[in-house]
Amino acid sequence: MKGWLNARNVFIAIVLVALTLLPVYAGITGDRFVVTLFTRIIILAIAATSLNLILGYGGMMSFGHAAYLGIGGYAVGIFAHEGIYSGFIQWPVALIMSALFALVIGALSLRTRGVYFIMITLAFAQMAYYVVAGLARYGGDDGLTIYKRSDFAGLVNLSNKTFFYYFCLIVLYACIYIVWRLVNSRFGLVIQGVRSNETRMRAIGFPTYRYRLVCFVIAGTMCGLAGALVANHTDFVSPAMMYWTRSGDLIVMVVLGGMGSLFGPLFGAVALLVLEEVLSGVTEYWQIILGPLLLLVVLFARGGIDGLLGKVRHA
């Protein structure tokens, strides 16, 4: 029991409890905006968690992860625009399209390494961005308003703010659980092994390319799910969701929170977005602080928030 009670676990517990009780707080204080803000944080945390799988655990630096947010989002948006509101059609398509896209990109990109991998994932994501921006029927650069949220035959009411919040929270917990199981399985050990030394893993006999590809597809699919959630949250999708700077934001979240840690992406998402809200209230030039902060994290606190927590030793 003693091993469980360290700073990191206490912090995680506090965060999880706070998130679960947030709508209650909102109900008491009447501040509904905080529910909207944290729904967005949770959805982005799901996206960051999926990125952490390939970036943190797998060592694959994909600069095109925001593309899946767009694919998932537009799957919902396009169907809604055409009058098909059933979530039973929209969401599976979102997941399948994300998986397919990840499969194709992964198959081609995973043959490259280092900066080339970064560039090629970026290229494919930009291509997806341009495809979507080029569709006049679905708004192009102006984006697409979604007039009705995904309908699951009346089983769930996504238009209810509190319900939607808990829905997203459950999805987040499920995704973190999935990542936990994956990472601690044989599959996960191989992936992490490839990150530290691929030649060795290959020498042992693992088909590393295939393992990485599977990991890549899982991450893409999970992010596509986040995309479908985003579409339902904002009732609006636009190509800007997929622009390369958004992929950068996701990477920042993962690194800030702590790469290769289970709850790091969640911490990173909370930290970044809360910081944005708080700082922009203080000064409109808040990014002047965020920029150097990022720099300092890279130089001195590479393990992110999770790393800092790990350093807190009991007295």
Binding site for another protein (CB under 8 A): 32-33, 36, 61, 63, 108, 111-112, 114-116, 118-120, 122-124, 126-127, 130-131, 133-137, 140-143, 145, 147, 234-236, 238, 240-241, 244-245, 248, 251-252, 255, 285-288, 290-295, 297-299, 302
Q: Between 65 and 95, whose beta carbon lies closer to another protein?
A: 65
Instruction: Give me the least distance between CB of 14 and another protein, in Å please.
Output: 25
Closest C-alpha to 254, from 103, 11, 63, 108: 63
The residue (of 99 and 128) whose beta carbon lies closer to another protein is 128
Looking at the Cβ atoms of 133 and 190, the one nearer to another protein is: 133
- Show the beta-strand stretches assigned E in the chain: 144-145, 236-237
* Cβ 210 to another protein shortest distance, Å: 18
Residue 89 or residue 301: which is nearer to another protein going by CB?
Answer: 301
- Pair 72, 92: CB distance under 8 Å: no
Distance in Å, CB of 147 to another protein, minimum: 7
d(CA 285, CA 259) in angstroms, rounded, equals: 28
Amino acid at 203: A
Q: What is the spatial distance between Cα 241 and Cα 71, in angstroms, rounded to a whole number?
A: 9
Q: Which is nearer to another protein, 192 or 287 (CB)?
A: 287
User: CB of 11: closest distance to another protein in angstroms?
Assistant: 23
For residue 148, the one-letter residue type is K
CB of 40 to another protein, least distance (A): 9
Nearer to another protein among residue 100 and residue 131 (C-beta) = 131
Please write down the HEC assignment for all residues of 209-230. Answer: HHHHHHHHHHHHHHHHHHHHHH
Q: Show Cβ contacts of residue 254 under 8 Å, excluding neighbours closer than 6 positions.
A: 48, 51, 52, 55, 56, 264, 265, 268
Token output for 211? 């393992």
State in angstroms the smallest separation of the CB of 272 from another protein: 12
138: DSSP letter: G
